[in-house]
Amino acid sequence: MTLSTSDVAMLAERLDQAALERRAIAKITNEFPDMGWDDAYRIQDALKARIEARGADCRLLFKAGLTSRAKMVQMGVSEPVFGFLKPDGQVGNGGTTPATAYIHPRVEAEIAVRLKRPLKGPGCHVGDVLAAIDEVMVALEIIDSRYENFNFDLKSVIADNTSAAGWVLGEPVRFRPGMDLAHCGIVMRINDAIVSTVAGSAVLGHPAVPVAMLANLLAAQDREIPAGALILTGGASAACAVKAGDRVDLAIQGMGALSVHFN
């Protein structure tokens, strides 16, 4: 831990303002090269406190990111990160969202899970996660780094709440024993052209893995993932830039499909 409480507050405000003004900024490690991993999550927590002070309730909204090889290669990093979803970022399935609501939006094909019981680490593993999942959903994340050209390192992106901006969910599907989240096919299309075909196993071997990792990360702060939590497990393939006029369709085998339009 190297940042003072006032630096943490100042950086959270800088990132919050950049998002509100849809303005890209330089990555914060340029100015604070010695900041620690705990500092990065302290900034993210301060950012969450600012957003919650405006009336948002983020307590049940979690996301994992950088959980597939394709995403790690695309962003030049080697480890997953965790953040929260903003309630007002949700766009209805089949709905429209203005491209101008973002700085430089990209879309990601993800599997989302909703828990029926809490998950608490340390030692949380895939079996615990599978026993706790209530529903699964097709999920599209609309990411929007607050950093110029999506140019960041892991600490900067954690502080920036892992580029979280928007999200779209398909219809919830009851999770049944035997439902295979690793071998299900995932197809994303933009304007009817296929941009990715991948399987659930692209997400760290199984999308339950990042959920277990999140529970174990929270345990270090004596926190847990509460019952009822929604978790986006991370892009299974590289993120794709979108612009006004684009339509995105995402289908996942056994879970259904969703679509969203940017105007």
In angstroms, give the least distance from the CB of 48 to Mg ion: 17
Query: Would you state the structure tokens that stand for residue 116, as one six-digit string?
Result: 């029926």
| CA separation for the pair 183, 40 (Å, rounded) | 34
Number of residues binding to ligand OOG, judged by CB under 6 A:
16
Among the listed residues 35, 47, 133, 143, the single contact to ligand OOG using CB under 6 A: 143
In angstroms, give the least distance from the CB of 64 to Mg ion: 7
The CA-CA-CA angle for residues 117, 120, 121, to 5°, reads: 150
| CA separation for the pair 56, 86 (Å, rounded) | 7
Backbone angles phi and psi of 159, in degrees to 5:
-60, -35
Residue span binding Mg ion (CB under 5 A) among the ranges 62-70, 87-95, 129-137, 153-161:
62-70
Kindly state whether residue 141 participates in binding ligand OOG, applying the rule CB under 6 A. yes
The structure tokens 């999506």 sit at: 150
Considering only residues 228-247, where is the footprint of Mg ion by CB under 5 A?
235
User: In this structure, are strands 96-97 and 256-262 parallel, antiparallel, or unpaired?
Assistant: parallel
In angstroms, give the least distance from the CB of 123 to ligand OOG: 25
In angstroms, give the least distance from the CB of 114 to ligand OOG: 18
The CA-CA-CA angle for residues 245, 70, 214, to 5°, reads: 100
Among the listed residues 28, 66, 111, 252, the single contact to ligand OOG using CB under 6 A: 66
| CA separation for the pair 48, 177 (Å, rounded) | 35
Residue span binding Mg ion (CB under 5 A) among the ranges 18-26, 101-109, 122-130, 192-200:
101-109
Residue span binding ligand OOG (CB under 6 A) among the ranges 94-102, 142-150, 214-222, 240-248:
142-150
Kindly state whether residue 65 participates in binding Mg ion, applying the rule CB under 5 A. yes
The CA-CA-CA angle for residues 248, 249, 251, to 5°, reads: 150
| CA separation for the pair 238, 229 (Å, rounded) | 25
Among the listed residues 141, 144, 160, 249, the single contact to Mg ion using CB under 5 A: 141
Binding residues (CB under 6 A) for ligand OOG: these are: 65-67, 71, 75, 108, 141, 143, 145, 150, 157, 162-163, 234-235, 239
